[in-house]
Amino acid sequence: MALNLLMLGPPGAGKGTQAERFARSRGIPRISTGDILREAVHAGTEIGRRARAIMDRGELISDDVMIGIVRERLERDDAQSGFVLDGFPRTVAQASALDGIMDGRDPLLVIDIVVPETELVRRLGTRLICAKCGTNAPIAGGAATCATCGGKLVQRADDDQAVVLERLKVYHRQSEPLVEYYRVRPTFRSIDGAQPPDRVAADLAAAIVAASNVGVAGGRR
């Protein structure tokens, strides 16, 4: 059975770190729409310039753009044996579209990483990004240069405190309903993301095993 994993959680919950770690351990691709958009921003493409203006205001990219990006990516050969989806869906409309994309494939496992808002604000206010390649630095890293390319680490434009608060408002208004959308499914699990990264990773692995067992019993969705 393909391991198709969707990770939910607000900005700063650690989805990216845990998604990358888990995908690498299982040899499946981590599909981050945020990374795809940031690459376009860094390259200065037309869609990148449009996306940058939207992200700098703390708003979300339109559903049709995101759905198209994800549909194309999930059709590639390397995603047929499984994937870790990070940053999509962010709205119920996107989730409904993802159900259509997943039709006929193995079950989608959904893990929600829960972190108190005060901790999210603290994390986001200290998060850094590489000015050269756009890679996010680990929240607790403490490094001054990027581990990927050696570029200088700077604060993300969308991690300014005012924008952080706006991003969390947008999340609560538009993305939080996803938890309710998926909660009724037997392959849904929540984990505590306020713990040390290794503890979160252990809880994530256990939740995936539990959800996978239910998914096998329940068949495809």
pLDDT at 33: 81
pLDDT at 188: 97
Angle at the Cα of 194 (from 188 to 199), degrees rounded to 5? Answer: 75
List Cα–Cα distances, 133 to 58, 77, 81, 147, 153, in angstroms: 21, 26, 28, 11, 10
- Would residue 8 count as lying in a domain? yes
How far is residue 66's CA from residue 60's CA, in Å, rounded to a whole number?
Answer: 10
- Would residue 180 count as lying in a domain? yes
Helix, strand or coil for residue 171? helix
How far is residue 127's CA from residue 131's CA, in Å, rounded to a whole number?
Answer: 13
User: Which residue type is seen at 101?
Assistant: I
pLDDT at 140: 55
Structure tokens at 168: 């969390």
Structural domain total, the chain: 1
Q: Are strands 188-192 and 82-86 parallel, antiparallel or unpaired?
A: unpaired
- Would residue 102 count as lying in a domain? yes
Angle at the Cα of 202 (from 116 to 183), degrees rounded to 5? Answer: 55
- Would residue 101 count as lying in a domain? yes
- Would residue 67 count as lying in a domain? yes
- The parts of the chain modelled with pLDDT lower than 70 are 47, 138-142, 156-160, 215-221
Q: 117 Cβ partners below 8 Å, 6+ apart?
A: 10, 168
- Would residue 56 count as lying in a domain? yes
Helix, strand or coil for residue 83? strand
Catalytic residue list: 15, 90, 127, 156, 167
CB-side neighbour CA atoms (13 Å) of 29: 14
pLDDT at 218: 56
**Complete edge-to-edge strand list for the sheet that includes strand 30-32:** 30-32, 82-86, 3-8, 108-114, 188-192
- Would residue 165 count as lying in a domain? no
How far is residue 149's CA from residue 84's CA, in Å, rounded to a whole number?
Answer: 24
Residue 88: CATH number of its domain? 3.40.50.300
- Would residue 161 count as lying in a domain? no
Which structural domain range is residue 47 located in? 3-115+174-218
Cβ atoms of residues 84 and 33 within 8 Å: no
